[in-house]
Amino acid sequence: MVFARAGWTVRLFDNVPAQLDAARGHIAASLAEQQAIGLCADAAGAVARVTMASRIEDALADAAWVQENLPEQVDVKRDVYRTLDAAAPATAILASSTSAIVASRFTQMLNGRARCLVAHPVNPPHLVPIVELCGAPWTSAATIERARATMTDVGQVPIVVRRELDGFVLNRLQGALLNEAMRLVGEGYVSPEDLDKTVAHGLGLRWSFMGPFATIELNAPGGVADYCARYSGIYRKLAAEPPAPAVWDSENVARVAAALGDAPTAAERDRRMAERDRRLLALARHKRDQSET
Ligand SMILES: NC(=O)c1ccc[n+]([C@@H]2O[C@H](COP(=O)([O-])OP(=O)(O)OC[C@H]3O[C@@H](n4cnc5c(N)ncnc54)[C@H](O)[C@@H]3O)[C@@H](O)[C@H]2O)c1
């Protein structure tokens, strides 16, 4: 949807044909919603630019960009990358959506490994524009630059992770917050509802348009150095007592789950996901109207 609404021709391939059928309906419905709120100029035109390929080679022929969304399993990715590298034009970029597997683990053996990188999107990518770009040690600088330009061109917001590391940047930040949240709720300091409010009605309001550095820069008259002079004591103390990996052990997960109560039914989950996407659409439009990224 991201590429198609930006005018690109898109060919989808999945080795389970039913997935392609489901994608067709989902794409048409979602692009229509995006048009209604002003995020897509011509939904019907964008839908018409997306076709389904019955063979992977047909999807790859003449491709300029390949976005791989295989299951998060390194052996599957390694296997299919051999085909991608052999069948895609030598000029095509091969980008992986992987959330946590560094590209060096599935591209090392490829002749065309210099054109491979991770381009990690965030769900749902048509509403949350960040994309983390992270090359393997052998990814060419030209590939990273072209990927950055392409992502910008299709309306996403790329960042470059300069060296491979587990979790890239986004999931390391999310992990730091989740680790602490699991401790605070698991050890009974706060209810899950109140913890969620702290983000939704506190930190998250600023974070929807400025990051933590831009935030602290305004929280002391002399900027970041002044902020650190004033407040580093508290953060130093917290850093000395980080949440332990045991916050993910079954005992603590059970405590957190009990505090949260019954898991939502499938229908309730669908309702909440639709509500999330409705709010994200409104926020995306608001951010676009404010012309910031
Ligand atoms: N779901 C998310 O929120 C999210 C967000 C960012 C990145 N990612 C990453 O995107 C990738 C895909 O995630 P997902 O949640 O969509 O996974 P998924 O398991 O839901 O979908 C994977 C798809 O790949 C297809 N597939 C499996 N083997 C194949 C093969 N050999 N050839 C062609 N197609 C094949 C499956 O039929 C399935 O449709 C993962 O690397 C994941 O880490 C996911």
Q: What is the pLDDT of residues 124-179, one digit of tens each?
A: 999 899 999 999 999 999 999 999 999 999 999 999 999 999 999 999 999 999 99
What is the rounded CA–CA span in Å between residue 246 and residue 39? 43
Q: Is the CB of 123 under 6 A from ligand 1?
A: yes
Q: In angstroms, what CA-CA distances link 137 with 90, 98, 105, 159, 168? A: 19, 17, 11, 17, 15
The residue written with tokens 């630019």 in the block is 49
Q: Is the CB of 19 under 6 A from ligand 1?
A: yes
Q: What is the pTM of this model?
A: 0.91
What is the rounded CA–CA span in Å between residue 77 and residue 96? 9
Residue 285: pLDDT band (50, 70, 90) is confident
More confident residue, 226 or 281: 226
Provide CB contacts within 8 A for 102, sequence distance 6+. Answer: 118, 134, 136, 164, 165, 166
Question: What residue spans in the chain does CATH classification 3.40.50.720 cover?
Answer: 2-161
The proportion of the chain whose per-residue pLDDT surpasses 70, expressed as a percent, equals 99
Question: What residue spans in the chain does CATH classification 1.10.1040.10 cover?
Answer: 170-261
- Nearest protein CA to atom 23 of ligand 1, as residue: 70
Indicate whether 291 pLDDT > 80: no
CA of 225 to the centre of ligand 1 (A): 43
Q: Is the CB of 97 under 6 A from ligand 1?
A: yes
- Nearest protein CA to atom 24 of ligand 1, as residue: 70
Average pLDDT of the segment spanning 74-89: 98
Classify domain 170-261 by CATH number.
1.10.1040.10
What's the pLDDT score for residue 282? 87
Average pLDDT of the segment spanning 87-100: 97
Residue 289: pLDDT band (50, 70, 90) is confident
CATH architecture of the domain with residue range 2-161: 3-Layer(aba) Sandwich (3.40)
Q: Which pair of tokens denotes residue 3?
A: 């590429």
**HSE of 91, CA atoms in CB hemisphere, 13 A:** 4
CA of 152 to the centre of ligand 1 (A): 23
Q: What is the amino acid identity at position 44?
A: A
Task: Return the ligand 1 atom nearest residue 16 CA.
Answer: 37
Would you say 113 and 127 are in contact if contact means Cβ atoms under 8 Å apart?
Answer: no
Considering the chain, what is the average pLDDT of its residues? 95
Q: Within 10 Å of residue 200's Cβ, how many Cβ atoms? A: 10
Q: Ligand 1: which of 57, 74, 94, 97 to mutate, most ligand atoms within 8 Å of CB?
A: 97
What pLDDT digit, counting tens, does each position of 18-49 carry? Answer: 999 999 999 999 999 899 888 899 999 999 99
Q: Is the CB of 73 under 6 A from ligand 1?
A: no
Kindly report the CA angle at 92 between 89 and 98, in degrees rounded to 5?
125
Average pLDDT of the segment spanning 216-226: 94
Beta bridge partners of 65: 93
CA of 241 to the centre of ligand 1 (A): 36
CA of 55 to the centre of ligand 1 (A): 17
Dihedral of CA atoms 291, 155, 205, 190 in degrees, nearest 10, equals: 180
Give all strands (DSSP E) within 122-259, no chain letters.
130-135, 157-161
What's the pLDDT score for residue 290? 86
Radius of gyration of the chain (CA): 21
Q: Is the CB of 14 under 6 A from ligand 1?
A: yes
The number of angstroms, rounded, from the C-alpha of 211 to the middle of its chain's C-alpha atoms is: 16
Indicate whether 284 pLDDT > 90: no
Q: Is the CB of 71 under 6 A from ligand 1?
A: yes
Indicate whether 292 pLDDT > 70: no
The number of angstroms, rounded, from the C-alpha of 46 to the middle of its chain's C-alpha atoms is: 22
